[in-house]
Amino acid sequence: KSFIHKILLLCVLASFGHTTAWAVKVIIDGVNYSINSNNQTASVVNGKKTYLSGDIKIAESVTYKDQIYKVTAIEEKAFSNCKNLTSVTIPDGVTSIGEDAFLLSTGLLSVIIPASVTNIGECAFIYCEALTSVTIPENVTNIEGMTFYRCIYNHRTTKTNQKYPSEIFNYQHIL
């Protein structure tokens, strides 16, 4: 009996070292953020609301219950179908832009991507037909296929065309 109590006590003590991640959604100026308690970060997520319009500045950090969470990612479809969104400023500290992040945001004219971004997901700006201004920093090491497909921006910046393969601008058939 004493042995079982010791084992149970060890299990209880071991469980104190583990924390469970929880996600809380916070809305700031109409932008939805998800907080990750394990790594003390926040991500921009899809709130299934397409009413965002005009110029949006993503917050550098989110405060929840007196704790500050640094925004590090724009998740999949975070701004998809926001047809009246005209510009987005992404803060330094964001490292990735997810797949379809701005899908069908047809009014989007410009995006400012900070040097901290290293990855831009597949189809991130697909069908952003009004997009005429994007600055892609040198630190971006991965741009997935079709990122700028059907953008007016398509093939307008010589530097971009020289640095990145044409697949980021064009549709690829996968057989």
Rounded distance, CA 45 to CA 29, Å?
13
pLDDT digits (tens, 9 = 90+) for 35-65: 998 899 999 999 776 678 999 999 999 999 9
3-state secondary structure of 15: helix
State residue 154's pLDDT score: 46
Contact 41, 74 (CB under 8 A): no
Average pLDDT along the chain: 80
State residue 64's pLDDT score: 93
Beta bridge partner(s), residue 83? none
Identify the residue with better confidence: 70 or 3: 70
Residue 94 has pLDDT above 50, yes or no: yes
Structural tokens at position 148: 């700028």
Burial 52-65 (b: 16+ CB within 10 A, else e): beeebebbebbeee
Pairing mode, strands 110-112 and 84-89: parallel
pLDDT digits (tens, 9 = 90+) for 112-140: 899 999 999 999 999 998 988 888 888 89
Task: Provide the pLDDT confidence category of residue 13 given band limits of 50, 70 and 90.
Answer: very low
State residue 90's pLDDT score: 96
State residue 134's pLDDT score: 84
Contact 117, 140 (CB under 8 A): yes
Phi, psi of 11 (to 5 degrees): -65, -45
Identify the residue with better confidence: 81 or 160: 81
pTM for the model stands at 0.77
Rounded distance, CA 103 to CA 99, Å?
9
Cβ neighbours for 92, distance < 8 A, ≥ 6 positions apart: 60, 114, 115, 116
